[in-house]
Structure 1
């Protein structure tokens, strides 16, 4: 291995697709044709390597930019495609989707990442086993398919979580509201990237006949439809979140109204009794029953009768 190869730490993998199965590139990187290069974009020296491969400066800036959003741009000698994949890193939140930049330029495909992407790892494993994509175009479609698969797996998990939250018999309202807020944030993060990603795939699909054969064009169209379906599912889940939030808020309001109502009923029943006990609690001369040993029991009986009469009156007036 040459000294230059030892210094190219930013190259994660490189394969030549001029024949099937694809074979690893060991030398002549800058002269390779129909090849795929996978880069760690945040390591030094990568921009110089791209210049040596005659990649225009604006494209280098685009693939190495720190902040990007999904998009597709067609050029005379190829295209630039920026996508977002589910973050499956240890301890990471899957909805914090990570960026992969794909540059198809003069017959070669270049991909750039900062953090590992499971979809790329799956394709690399297949290439090592000799069962990977047969061409660069097949590689592109397979990559988009694998990224959609990871996204659909995440959506299935979120849908299960939403279904559990909709079950009124599971968990108290406060806990469900907190979980619903967390789920709402996840859905908003996903929608932030999936919506422009669908637009990028639609533009790629519309232009794909320039580079792909009809069969791959159809496969790409299928993946575009998959992304569209995922976005529709996200929008539906967001609507479900709002409906469930309103349901939980209404449930809390009904509980508060019911409790307030019963407190008001109790207060209404005891109001005259409280008034009478207050009046007869005055410690001054002239109070009736002071000299009668049975006055307390008579007074208590009168209050019970008053309470019972109020109960019957409220029942007749259908207060409950």
Structure 2
């Protein structure tokens, strides 16, 4: 028994929802079971129809695994290119996080989740004592196992790189929020006494000073300016601004 997975090339789902192929193999027969369409099997069927069929069961397994891994490598390469673009945006000082960051993180995690067992399965197949696996087939399957291993390592590296990009943008967002909050606090510290005084002089009750004095409003405005300058001077003295 051997279970292999490949990227989903069907139109009903994303690539990281990998398709599975389960195989049972004897000396003269290979039985495959799949739930969804696997384009690698379709390609082998077309080759067989044109007279270029695999020479035997183990050749069929190698051909299928190679086709699946080729499609996996293409998907991993495309994902790696997008991660490179994310890192370039960080180096360029772009403060907005990439729109596809979360989706690409999920894709990398799912691909690694399914490819790691496939790597182990191919390595175990190479080490089996079955007479079905010839020395030539072992060498070719070992190469596919190494490719799966490299794909898993690349996915693990990309997951870490995307986490670094995510941490960078989270830090930038926190800094912007803290900076904006600090500015609002300074503005509130300056205008809070001004609001208190204007509110106090705005009450409509008898006995307010300056009601009958022509220059009272100008004096109030001048007093507010002086108070503002004094508040800014105190804040600078305290090294808050």
Which structure shows the bigger proportion of residues in helix conformation?
A: 2
| 1:252 pairs with 2:183 | no
3-state SS of paired residue (1:187): helix
Which residue among 221, 224, 230 is the counterpart of 1:303? 224
Q: Which has the higher contact order (CA 8 A, sep 6+)?
A: 2
The 1-side partners of 2:200 and 2:3 are apart by: 83
- Greater shift, 148-157 or 135-144, is seen at 135-144
State yes or no: 1:101 paired with 2:22: yes
Whether the 8 Å contact between 2:28 and 2:56 is mirrored in structure 1 is no
Equivalent pairs counted in the alignment come to 238
Displacement of 1:114: 2.7
User: What is the TM-score when the length of structure 2 is the normalising length?
Assistant: 0.86
**1:156: Cα distance to partner?**
1.7
* Cα deviation, residue 144, structure 1: 1.0
Partner of residue 225, structure 1: 146
Match of 1:274 among 153, 172, 195: 195
* Aligned mates of 1:208, 1:247 — CA distance in 2: 50
In the alignment, what sits opposite 1:315?
236
Contact 2:126/2:133, CA 8 A, preserved across alignment: no
Distance 1:157 1:190, change over 3 A: same
CA contact (8 A) 2:44 2:53 kept: yes
Q: Deviations over 1:239-276 (max 9, x none)?
A: 23333332232222222211111111100111221222
- Provide Cα deviations, 1:44-70, integer angstroms capped at 9, x if missing partner: xxxxxxxxxxxxxxxxxxxxxxxxxxx
Partner of 1:188: 109
**Is this contact kept in 1: 2:2–2:121, CA < 8 A?**
yes
Q: CA deviation at 1:214?
A: 2.6
Q: Measured at CA, do residues 158 and 171 of structure 1 come closer, stay the same or move farther in structure 2, by a change above 3 Å?
A: farther
Q: Which runs of 5+ in 1 are unaligned?
A: 1-79
Q: Which residue of 1 aligns with 2:84?
A: 163
